[in-house]
Chains A and B, each alone.
Chain A
């Protein structure tokens, strides 16, 4: 096979092209001189060692920089959650009656917010204030809902997170109700307001900072 690829030039061709046949001695000398010129620091021994023994690195594997751990002294978010900031199951022992003073406090707060019991003017103002107000401690009930088992639940609102309400009913049962597709009723001093839960998918703290726009249809 080799004869097909490599074909020695005949003498005539060599003379024509003026190619000189380099002897092995000359080749070696040439290579050594070249190496010496390119790597003046290394001695000849080291060069030979290098060529004969050292492994050639074909690919480079760099150590990936370890991600810097984010140190936040005020945050501690993962640990915080772990410490059960939310409810424990013990409140099953807590009676509904323990939360009644909270409800009284809420009523006073709302009365104070609206400057009066029944200002007959501007129900819009009341609604606007209710949007920014805090609902913890209010008595809410579910009037309409896509899931029929939720309808009719009444109780004091204990916690409000992004998607749910946590309510404790008169029978001391803690109910978790999703806000989506539900209509809640809040009653204050004869004023009944309906809250469409689908538009309320915000944490209660964000709600006081956000402006509400009328978007889309209001139905469940």
Chain B
């Protein structure tokens, strides 16, 4: 499935913005405003063009203030146990918004499944696989 031209350009732009935010933060760890600006631009573009992002990338962006989350620098990451399950809790330091992710060794993300790798079968729901 060849990617459509517009989308590919847009995706390149998104990835460039993400890398730029990382680059800026790497140069100057204290000034997060610029990184936040880039991530906000990125989020607006993705919203406007309705682009799907990989969950591993989405998890590093804060949903409230759209800053780039780096554990130790901009956010805190703790592991908690709740109802006999292990959750990872990420808290953004600027807007105090927390995200919880389930840590289950048996759970597999959709993107990691082998069916999702094949381009032609990307649209099938999970119960369709054999």
Contacts and interface: CB of A to CB of B under 8 A. Distances in A.
Contacts of B19: 105
Contact of B34 (A83, A109, A129, A158): A158
B78 interface: no
Contact of B44 (A102, A137, A205): A205
Interface residues of B, number: 31
Dominant secondary structure at the B interface? helix
Contacts, number: 85
Interface stretch (B9-17, B68-76, B112-120): B9-17
B60 interface: no
Interface string A197-213: 00000011110110000
Interface string A109-135: 100110000000000000001001110
Contact of A85 (B10, B17, B37): B37
Interface string B19-58: 1100110011011011011101100110011000000000
Contacts of A30: none
Contacts of A205: 41, 44-45, 48
Contacts of B79: none
A80 interface: yes
5 contacts: A90-B31, A102-B27, A134-B13, A134-B16, A158-B34
